[in-house]
Amino acid sequence: MSGKLILAIETSCDETAVALATLTGEIVGSFVSSQIELHAPYGGVVPELASRNHNLDLRPLVSHALESLQVDRSELGVIAATSGPGLASSLLIGDTTAKAIAAGLGIPFYSINHMEGHLLSPFIGLSGAIPSHLALIISGGHTLLIDVEGVARYRAIGSTKDDAAGEAFDKVGKLLGLPYPGGPEIAKRAELGNREAFDFPRSMLNSGDFDFSFSGLKTAVLYAREKLGAEQTSEMIADLCASFQEAVVDVLVSKLMSSAEAEQRKRIALSGGVSCNERLRQRIRDAAEKQDLELFLSDKEYSTDNAAMIAFAAAKRYESGIAPSSLDSDIDPNLQLAVSSTGEIKG
């Protein structure tokens, strides 16, 4: 192979993203064109708007990435794109564009699971093989505990029974009248609030397994807000945010720590958009130190959706000798990452 760089494309939801990395996974450049403002008036992602804008933004973003990094197409050796999970019409834009570039240049194409991108993102910037560890992925669509043996060797330990952690933040943000997406807005207000003002449920904290449930918590916030009546001050909203956030953080920290203990892992990793949450990062740092675990946190830049994590996952697959994907491969909006030891899909 003459080209030494990977070009990766991510269009699974509402971010159009392009990144360049070396074949060993060093990130050369990462570019994200966010559609958040476009979808904000609707309080969530509108699929048709998302795919139409990926279609408009992607080609110029690829050109911009190559030009600003002064990379010639002849330097590309591998093309990668997210093939799922996500919105079908959005995935198709990135997948088709990537395959067209790979076919045009006659170079290998890797279709990458978006969740594998998140899963490996805490190791971006670190050299060497991916070490065995217990991983918690917390995004807008997933809450997943995965036992990782190495690249492409994943076993699901637990997942959410209903809302994902990010989804809970977004839904609670919406019911509190906060701008979309709710996660960062709640985190901001929680800084000024009292974490003990409301005693919200810690669902499934003592369930004896590693699954999660957040929909009851969301309903509890709704009732607490209704009880406050019409006169709601910004202090009350801050208290609701801080108490809600603490309930989510309590459950996430507790299940990550106990699953690492159960699987006898000495390393833990945290990824996905919700892992940007400062309170959670602090609590996990403290817990890891206390339990003498090595903690890997993804950089905030690589926690929310981006293409650097897709390039990195492709590099790790390439490095591990995993064969490229066929140009006839399909996208899969419900693509799973891992199955449990009992064969149950938890992806």
d(CA 205, CA 186): 22
CA angle 196/197/198 to nearest 5° reads 90
- With CA atoms as reference, report the closest residue to 211 among 146, 159, 137, 138: 159
d(CA 297, CA 276): 9
The item of Zn ion, ligand KG4, none sharing an interface with residue 193, based on CB under 5 to 8 Å by kind, is: none
Burial code of 90-111, b = ≥16 C-beta within 10 A, e = fewer? bbbbbbbbbbebbeebebbbbb
The item of ligand KG4, Zn ion, none sharing an interface with residue 108, based on CB under 5 to 8 Å by kind, is: none
Considering only residues 11, 53, 90, 139, which one is a binding residue for ligand KG4 as defined by CB under 6 A? Answer: 139
Q: Are 295 and 285 in contact (CB under 8 A)?
A: yes
d(CA 147, CA 269): 10
Considering only residues 77, 94, 181, 324, which one is a binding residue for ligand KG4 as defined by CB under 6 A? Answer: 181
Residues in region 299-318 near ligand KG4 by CB under 6 A: 304-305
Region of 137-145, 233-241, 261-269, 314-322 interacting with ligand KG4 (CB under 6 A):
137-145
Residue (198 or 318) nearer to ligand KG4, CB: 198
Residue (97 or 275) nearer to ligand KG4, CB: 275
CB of 267 to ligand KG4, least distance (A): 21
> Does the footprint of ligand KG4 cover residue 277 (CB under 6 A)?
yes
Using CB under 6 A as the criterion, what x/- string covers residues 91-120 for binding ligand KG4? ------------------------------
Residue (35 or 139) nearer to Zn ion, CB: 139
Residue (113 or 318) nearer to ligand KG4, CB: 113
Tokens representing 52?
Answer: 């139409």
d(CA 262, CA 1): 44
Tokens representing 263?
Answer: 């699987």
- Percentages helix, strand, coil for the chain (3-state, rounded to 5) are 45, 20, 35
> Does the footprint of ligand KG4 cover residue 239 (CB under 6 A)?
no
Residue (139 or 245) nearer to Zn ion, CB: 139
d(CA 204, CA 212): 6
Region of 20-28, 103-111, 180-188, 203-211 interacting with ligand KG4 (CB under 6 A):
180-188
Which residues would be at the binding site for Zn ion (CB under 5 A)? 139, 305
Tell me which residues touch ligand KG4 (CB under 6 A).
Answer: 13, 139-141, 166, 169-170, 181-184, 187, 272-274, 276-277, 304-305
